[in-house]
Amino acid sequence: MFKVELKNPNAESHIKLDGSVDFTYIMRKDGPYVANQLAPSMARRTGIERSLITSTVGYYYDAFHAELVEILGRHFSSNGQKVDIHLYDSDSLEKLVLEKIEERNVVNVDPLLEGTLPSLSTSRHYALSGVKALTQGERPGSPSVQRQIQELTKNSIYGPAVVTEDDVFSGKSMVEVIVALRQQGIKCSMVCPGIQIGAAAAFSELQISVDPVVRYSSATSRNVLDQVDLGDARDFLLGASGLVVILPDKSLGRAPYVMPFVSPNARVGIPANQEIAFSREILVANLHFFRQVETLLGEPMVLSDVDPSFAHMCSELYGLHPNTPMTKVVTWALNEMESLYRINKELGTLQNRFHKLNLPERMVLLDLNGTLIPDDAHSCQLPAESKLLLQNQISRLAASGIQVGLCSDSPLDPLYHNIAKQLGIKGPIIAENGNVIRYQNVDFCLRELSMIQSLRDKITDLIESSVTPYNQQKDCLSMEFGGRLPRFELNEWAFGVGRKTSISVFGPPQLIEYLDKHLPLEPGLSKDASPQYNYFAIHPGNFRTNKGETLRALAAFGYDMTMVGNSMSDWVAPDSKVRCGFVGESTVSDEILAKASLTSEKPCAEGVVEILSRL
């Protein structure tokens, strides 16, 4: 059950929620703003009178708004909650904000007031799918926040200033804005939002008052932030506005509050089990809007007519052409909604984890076995001269903003303690064939092997059932890291120690062949059997391509990558934007060597030094 109320901010400046309603959703009626945003580009492209486009878009947007309110109300109240939807006329709110600030110095962050007041264009930046906020920064198409503030100071904006905003919810974003302004010498005395939810205690810590047009608070013990949410109808219309998301190439886009673009549960609070149904209804309402506009004007609105940051996202992420009619964009979103959302969600999760790692923008990754040291090396200690030359190159590259790291099948801890520390490598360490990353003492598993213990038990049982008797030893570390391998001539074997997302076995060649032949694996796992190196491993995914997939993913998210290795597992096709280099005596074909960005005829560390010297 839900009720819709058109609120008058002149009559009600303080709304106390008494608990008789479970949830209140606040929405502004922003038709004139949307019409003025969408009309200019279409007018230039088609030659249709701008005023006709504005009135047409405004008329049908009102119908879209009404349909949206009804859909929101039904889904919010579907679990038996009593729901109120409060509607405000955005023009009335903005007028009252302007009356409050009078002639004082102003820094405006309300998009609806841009052009009338000295403004700062700032927004939260989210990972794809809209679940996680990553940073606070500029809105798409605007200079950096720091540069904008510098421009404000040039134009005689000085404190104490009033900061205007369309709404304040928890206050976290506004606090970040005020701190950024203060750092540039602009003092803020007051925040004047159209709507304020709760007490915004964060402002009192900054000794800043809040003077909203309308304030919501709770008359009960419930936290008002749990009782209320708010949004704009334009965030649900494709190409009108939306959430600012960071695209894989680190540019900014705008994503409407529906699948496949973002999670309506995360952004609006729609129950998770209703996200699909809700999104379909909203997309159908979008289709109604764009079809009606096209019918009346005789011309379709196309992707290049709407918000450029939405069009950019559709081009970069989905390959849609700027001339695609919006009716086709909506139909495509409807048809591909669930599969595209799954991809967006996976990308967003990966993007958020990469962001938390705070990886360097530019990096060179070095393979270990066969690259830095020979495949049959009994130690990872490099000759003194090679070590010094390599350290010099690592320092030179670091000074130019390029971090050198490692990328190997070896376990993470030995790579860190035995190689990275020895050589002064401070860049990322990608271990276990691309399955796990460490940077600045933070670890992140890209692929997990959840059944490690049960697989170890299977391997042990299989070996014990063999006709040939084998003797299991303590888990061991390979010799190059100072470990002691089993005595293969005595039929000894052992698991490798220290693996987080894979399993390794060291044993006699015939045992490795036996495991390769007789150990069944679940789908999604792969076996790496190398009898000549007394080595067997199980990896999630494909061990031959995991390393390349990890490098491709990093490159896709805008990281500048160079991989130096000696085998096909170190090769990534050039279209992935990963540069590959190979040292001498590599096991790759002449065809691959010809495609590589960098090569050296010198083997191992000498070859690595030569390749690094060219970067």
Q: What are phi and psi of 496, to 5 degrees?
A: -75, 145
The mean pLDDT of 307-312, rounded to a whole number, is 97
Q: Residue 211 above 80 pLDDT?
A: yes
pLDDT digits (tens, 9 = 90+) for 365-397: 999 999 999 988 888 889 999 999 999 999 999
The CA distance from 615 to 596, in Å, is: 14
> CB atoms < 10 A from the CB of 249, how many?
12
Q: Strand 471-472 and strand 492-495: pairing?
A: parallel
Rg (CA), the chain: 30
Angle, helices 326-335 vs 337-357, to 10°: value is 90
- From 102-116, 123-137, 219-233, 443-457, the region with the lowest mean pLDDT: 102-116
pLDDT digits (tens, 9 = 90+) for 51-110: 999 999 999 999 999 999 999 999 999 888 999 999 999 999 999 999 988 877 888 898
The CA distance from 265 to 341, in Å, is: 13
SS3 assignment, position 115? coil
Q: How confident is the model at residue 199 (pLDDT cuts 50, 70, 90)?
A: low
SS3 assignment, position 543? coil
CA dihedral 70, 73, 79, 82 (to 10 degrees): -130
Range with top average pLDDT, 116-120, 196-200, 233-237:
233-237
Q: How confident is the model at residue 158 (pLDDT cuts 50, 70, 90)?
A: low
Helices (H), strands (E): how many in the chain?
Answer: 20, 27
Q: Closest by alpha carbon to 432, among 312, 552, 521, 546? A: 546
Residue 154 near residue 287, CB atoms below 8 Å: no
Q: How confident is the model at residue 198 (pLDDT cuts 50, 70, 90)?
A: confident
The residues spanned by each domain of the chain are 2-352, 358-447+544-613, 452-540
**For residue 472, which amino acid is it?**
Q
Q: How confident is the model at residue 183 (pLDDT cuts 50, 70, 90)?
A: confident
Q: How confident is the model at residue 207 (pLDDT cuts 50, 70, 90)?
A: confident
Q: Closest by alpha carbon to 173, among 128, 223, 110? A: 110
The CA distance from 16 to 14, in Å, is: 6
Residue 126 near residue 132, CB atoms below 8 Å: yes
Q: Residue 574 above 90 pLDDT?
A: no
Q: Quote the tokens at residue 394.
A: 């690592």
Q: Quote the tokens at residue 434.
A: 């691309």
Residue 254 C-alpha from the chain's centroid: 13
Q: Residue 8 above 80 pLDDT?
A: yes
Predicted confidence at residue 204, as pLDDT, reads: 78
The mean pLDDT of 200-211, rounded to a whole number, is 81
Q: Look at the alpha carbons of 99, 100, 106, 111 in this order and tell me if their dihedral is positive or negative.
A: negative
Higher pLDDT among residues 199 and 163, named by residue: 163
The mean pLDDT of 402-416, rounded to a whole number, is 95
The CA distance from 588 to 580, in Å, is: 12
Residue 163 C-alpha from the chain's centroid: 30
Predicted confidence at residue 276, as pLDDT, reads: 97
DSSP symbols for 176-204: HHHHHHHHTT--EEEEEEEEEES--HHHH
The mean pLDDT of 394-408, rounded to a whole number, is 96
- From 101-110, 133-142, 554-563, 600-609, the region with the lowest mean pLDDT: 101-110
Q: Quote the tokens at residue 99.
A: 């009356």
Higher pLDDT among residues 151 and 8, named by residue: 8
Q: Residue 517 above 70 pLDDT?
A: yes
Predicted confidence at residue 156, as pLDDT, reads: 62
The CA distance from 68 to 64, in Å, is: 6
Q: Residue 492 above 90 pLDDT?
A: yes
SS3 assignment, position 127? coil
Report the CATH fold assignment for 358-447+544-613.
Answer: Rossmann fold (3.40.50)
Percent of the chain with pLDDT over 70: 99
Q: Quote the tokens at residue 568.
A: 């096909």
SS3 assignment, position 19? coil
472 CB-near residues (< 8 Å, 6+ apart) = 460, 463, 492, 493, 494
pLDDT digits (tens, 9 = 90+) for 328-353: 999 999 999 999 999 999 999 999 98
56 CB-near residues (< 8 Å, 6+ apart) = 293, 296, 297
Q: How confident is the model at residue 50 (pLDDT cuts 50, 70, 90)?
A: very high
Question: Strand runs (DSSP E) across 201-283, as ranges?
Answer: 209-210, 214-218, 228-232, 243-246, 252-255
Q: Residue 186 above 90 pLDDT?
A: no
Q: Quick one: DSSP state of residue 373?
A: B
Instruction: State the average pLDDT for the chain.
Output: 93
The mean pLDDT of 268-294, rounded to a whole number, is 96
Residue 521 near residue 508, CB atoms below 8 Å: no
129 CB-near residues (< 8 Å, 6+ apart) = 261, 262, 263, 266, 341, 344, 345, 347, 348, 349
Which residue(s) pair with 535 in the sheet?
A: 506, 530
The mean pLDDT of 22-46, rounded to a whole number, is 95
Q: Residue 419 above 90 pLDDT?
A: yes
Q: What is the pTM of this model?
A: 0.84
Predicted confidence at residue 118, as pLDDT, reads: 85
Predicted confidence at residue 157, as pLDDT, reads: 58
The CA distance from 140 to 306, in Å, is: 14
DSSP symbols for 169-183: SSSHHHHHHHHHHHH
